[in-house]
Amino acid sequence: MSPALKYFDNEYDSIIRHICNSSQSTSPQDSDFDDTYYNPRLDSTNFLEGPLSYNPSTRLRQLLARPGIVVAPGICDGISARCALEAGFECLYQSGAATTASRLGQPDLAIATLNDFTDAARMVCSLDPTVPVIADADTGFGGPVMVARTVTQYARAGVAALHIEDQVQTKRCGHLLGKQVVSREEFLTRIRSAVHARDTIPGGSDFVIIARTDSAQVLGMDEAIIRLQLAAKVGADVCFIEGVKSKELLEKTVAALAPKPVLVNVISGGLTPSFTTKEAEEMGAKIIIFSLVSCVAMVHAVRAAMQSLKKTGTDYASSQGMGPKNFFELMGLNDMIQLDTQAGGTTFREI
């Protein structure tokens, strides 16, 4: 409990205010961080050995501590999550844009609420509770108290990690233009609130806090890196600069934030080049997410199916031979039949 309570010391807050308001320094100094957050229970060395945990947040920490990049495809609903699990991915990413589109049919303009996000996460996390889900939490949906509530709600839903950003409340997709960001101090308040909330979850939570900055396109890469260095000092577990525009800038980011893990977000046609997982790993990134991989693919597939149905009057071609039973098998039908049989039921003896 003590590491979390430290965040709200007046002395620590005055240090952060001094850093944020300083016009003479463009990078944080070691002397500014006498009270750097440290929780020995969450030290990465604790997660280097042993079998992968069934607890998704613990498992994610193990994946972060061990060799190899964590690849998390963006999912937008139960169908896309099932497809990602079938493909063998060991981590999933719940994109804010994907959640807003799939649940509301709206663009990513801060329209979806905390309830929209947690309801979607609860469903996705239930499909395979051992697979870590990293979830977008936008700006935390409000001030410090609301940020803290967001963390506890996500953790209760089964999410392994979330990222909170420094855009203003009326945010937009990180790959659109015209973004605005809050001050350094307000961003750090969000991160401190998130870490404090995690550390006060009864039982000692391993929940992973990811600090995301959208300031690179607004204030420049140097400011973005400084913000994440500060966020790491107040307890962020992973750092995420949205919209890294080149290989060189990603490598610069990784070097500046080492040894803190760095997340890179790849959206085809977005601000960041379409790095492959191998390329991102070679550049030093520890997590790569493909936010809209399922959404965009779904749009193309559904558009084609609807146009084919409109033109031909049948869905035979678009079904590609997949009947109802095949579809339900992808959705977990066989597991349900097995459970019923093991319980002594006969409901699904013939199906």
Encoded tokens for 332: 């977990």
| Per annotation, catalytic residue among 184, 265, 281, 295 | 265
Residue 198 a catalytic site member = no
| Per annotation, catalytic residue among 61, 212, 239, 281 | 212
Question: Which helix (DSSP H) or strand (DSSP E) does residue 148 occupy?
Answer: helix 144-157
Residue 138 a catalytic site member = yes
Other residues' Cβ atoms within 10 Å of the Cβ of residue 347: 11
| Per annotation, catalytic residue among 91, 125, 138, 295 | 138
**Taking the alpha carbons of 299, 300, 302, 308 in that order, is the dihedral positive or negative?**
positive
| Per annotation, catalytic residue among 163, 175, 190, 196 | 163
Residue 251 a catalytic site member = no
Residue 175 a catalytic site member = no
Please say whether the beta carbons of 208 and 60 come within 8 A.
Answer: yes
In one-letter notation, the amino acid at residue 346 is T
Residue 212 a catalytic site member = yes
| Per annotation, catalytic residue among 59, 93, 196, 227 | 93
Question: Which helix (DSSP H) or strand (DSSP E) does residue 164 occupy?
Answer: strand 161-164
Residue 119 a catalytic site member = no
Residue 265 a catalytic site member = yes
Instruction: Give the Cα separation of 191 and 345 in Å (integer).
Output: 49
Instruction: Give the Cα separation of 155 and 57 in Å (integer).
Output: 9
Instruction: Give the Cα separation of 164 and 282 in Å (integer).
Output: 26
Instruction: Give the Cα separation of 130 and 126 in Å (integer).
Output: 9
Residue 185 a catalytic site member = no
Residues contacting 151, CB < 8 A, separation 6+: 137, 162, 193, 194, 197, 198, 207, 209
Residue 77 a catalytic site member = no
Asked whether the bond before 28 is cis by omega within 30 degrees of 0, the reply is: no
| Per annotation, catalytic residue among 77, 108, 166, 206 | 108
| Per annotation, catalytic residue among 61, 91, 165, 172 | 165
Mode of pairing for the β-strands spanning 262-265 and 92-94: unpaired
| Per annotation, catalytic residue among 61, 77, 91, 136 | 136
| Per annotation, catalytic residue among 76, 125, 173, 239 | 173
| Per annotation, catalytic residue among 77, 237, 242, 281 | 242
In one-letter notation, the amino acid at residue 275 is F
Question: Which helix (DSSP H) or strand (DSSP E) does residue 280 occupy?
Answer: helix 277-282
Residue 93 a catalytic site member = yes
Q: Among all residues, which ones are annotated catalytic?
A: 93, 108, 136, 138, 163, 165, 173, 212, 242, 265
